[in-house]
Amino acid sequence: MDRFPRMLRQNRPPGLKLIIAYKFLKAPVMLALAGALTFAPVSAIRAARHVAFELSEGGGISWRLAHWLEPHLTERVERRAAIVAWLDGVSTVAEGLLLVSGKAWGEWIVVAGLSLLLPVEVLALVRRARIARALVLVINAAVVVYLAWRRLRAVHHPQQQRA
């Protein structure tokens, strides 16, 4: 265990461990998606159209999803999706590393970054309410509240701070 950096051995509360795990699980998925959209756009569009077709074979919600998805599978949307996926993947890696560092300022940077996204997520949800959008908003808001609460608690009760 001595081979691991001290920051990886820190005792962290379960909430922080969960956020870190989420960041490091989400990052490779987003970076892989970004890579596919950037370096294999034809294959990415073909795969997306195949998914839309398979969804259309189902009933109810999957059929509606497929018929919403199909007209959105354009080169323009694909390019924008690649940019968003790269930004999301890179920022998620950075956030994960900041949280792993165990530094208070790292947590504050994550709070600031996610807080800036919350109004955009609220506007998107107001514009077109979707369960997935609501879920993203709730998760990001919960992460912001939890990390801010940890940092504020550490300021007011430094002897109780575990990580």
What would the pLDDT profile of 101-124 be if each residue is shown by its tens digit?
A: 989 899 999 999 999 989 988 998
Task: Give the closest residue to 88 by CA, choosing from 37, 142, 144, 148.
Answer: 37
DSSP state of 60: T
The answer to whether the predicted template modeling score (pTM) of the entire model surpasses 0.75 is no
CB 113 within 8 A of CB 95: yes
Q: Are 73 and 56 in contact (CB under 8 A)?
A: no
Closest by Cα among 83, 51, 82 to 68: 51
Q: pLDDT per residue over 26-77, tens digit each? A: 999 999 989 988 898 878 777 777 677 666 766 667 666 666 777 767 778 7
If you compute the radius of gyration of the chain from its CA atoms, what whole number of angstroms results?
A: 19
For the chain, the residue count is: 163
